Amino acid sequence: MTGGPRKRDRHDILVEILKSAKGGAKKTRVMYKARLSFFQLEQYLHALNDNGFIVEENGVWKTTEKGLHVIAACELCLHLTEEV
């Protein structure tokens, strides 16, 4: 096992994007907060938008109610597994 940074899981990235857009954020801000390239961000935003987790309004991305439930569920799972 190496001591380098661990590769992030897809769900970690999805949750980071949803958290970044919780109160509304422009694409550039989400990209930097989630530490993604523009191309990667485009793919994730497209998938999240298609599934109703995030919406774009006048250049501002906002996490939907459904997306907020995803954040809460992921945080609960993380909390529960940390106890193991």
Indicate which CATH number applies to the domain containing 68. Answer: 1.10.10.10
Rounded distance, CA 55 to CA 62, Å? 5
- 77 part of a folded domain: yes
| pLDDT tens by residue, 21-33 | 999 999 999 999 9
Q: Where are the alpha helices (DSSP H) in the chain?
A: 10-20, 27-33, 38-50, 65-82
- 67 part of a folded domain: yes
| pLDDT tens by residue, 32-44 | 999 999 999 999 9
Neighbouring C-beta atoms of residue 60, cutoff 10 Å: 15
Total domains present in the chain = 1
- 42 part of a folded domain: yes
- 34 part of a folded domain: yes
- 60 part of a folded domain: yes
- 39 part of a folded domain: yes
- 5 part of a folded domain: no
Structural domain harbouring 38:
10-82
Rounded distance, CA 50 to CA 81, Å? 29
Flag whether pLDDT at 80 surpasses 90.
Answer: no
Q: How high is the pLDDT of residue 1? A: 47
| pTM score | 0.86
Q: How high is the pLDDT of residue 3? A: 54
